[in-house]
């Protein structure tokens, strides 16, 4: 059920894009109990002037042009502990597999109701049971 949007620099290599995609998916299935094969992702590469972040940092975190913005829209209901573990798994996994700084892995989670999805055919596959 998640939809993942990954926004990163145009200069990111194909290998890094694949690694980031796989790390996010692995964290979703391994930490957040997302079903296998539920991998819907949109990757967008941007020119340097299209990724905007505070030059002086924010909340004690500083950023570089290598910043990666990840937004995950998924079903509501996950605990704070699961979300914290997800953030950690994604940041550490991306750093380990790509060399991108953990500080440059920016993540936003968007919780939605189960009925807010259609996976095709114009149907509400997660419709409430009557």
Would strands 40-46 and 68-75 be described as parallel, antiparallel, or unpaired? unpaired
| pLDDT values of the chain reduced to their tens digit, one per residue, 130 residues | 799 999 999 999 999 999 999 999 999 999 999 999 999 999 999 998 999 999 999 999 999 999 999 999 999 999 999 999 999 999 999 999 999 999 999 999 999 988 888 889 998 988 888 7
**pLDDT digits over 21-55, tens only?**
999 999 999 999 999 999 999 999 999 899 999 99
**Mean pLDDT estimate for the chain:** 95
Rg from Cα positions in the chain? 16
* Rounded Cα distance, 89 and 28, in Å: 9
Residue among 43, 41, 45 nearest 26 (CA): 41
- Separate counts of helices (H) and strands (E) for the chain: 2, 4
Sorted by where each starts, the structural domains of the chain and their CATH numbers stand as 3-116 (3.30.429.10)
């Amino acid at each position: 059920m998640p939809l993942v949007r990954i926004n990163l620099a145009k200069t990111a290599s194909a290998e890094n894009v694949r690694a980031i995609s796989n790390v996010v998916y692995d964290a979703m299935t391994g930490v957040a109990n997302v079903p296998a094969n539920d991998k819907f992702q949109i990757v967008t590469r941007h020119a340097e002037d299209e990724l905007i972040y505070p030059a002086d940092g924010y909340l004690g975190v500083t950023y570089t042009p290598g910043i990666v913005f990840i937004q995950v829209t998924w079903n509501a209901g996950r605990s704070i502990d699961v979300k914290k573990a997800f953030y950690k798994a994604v940041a550490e996994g991306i750093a380990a597999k790509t060399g991108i700084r953990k500080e440059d892995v920016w993540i936003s989670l968007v919780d939605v109701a189960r009925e807010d999805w259609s996976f095709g055919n114009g149907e509400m596959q997660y419709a409430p049971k009557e």
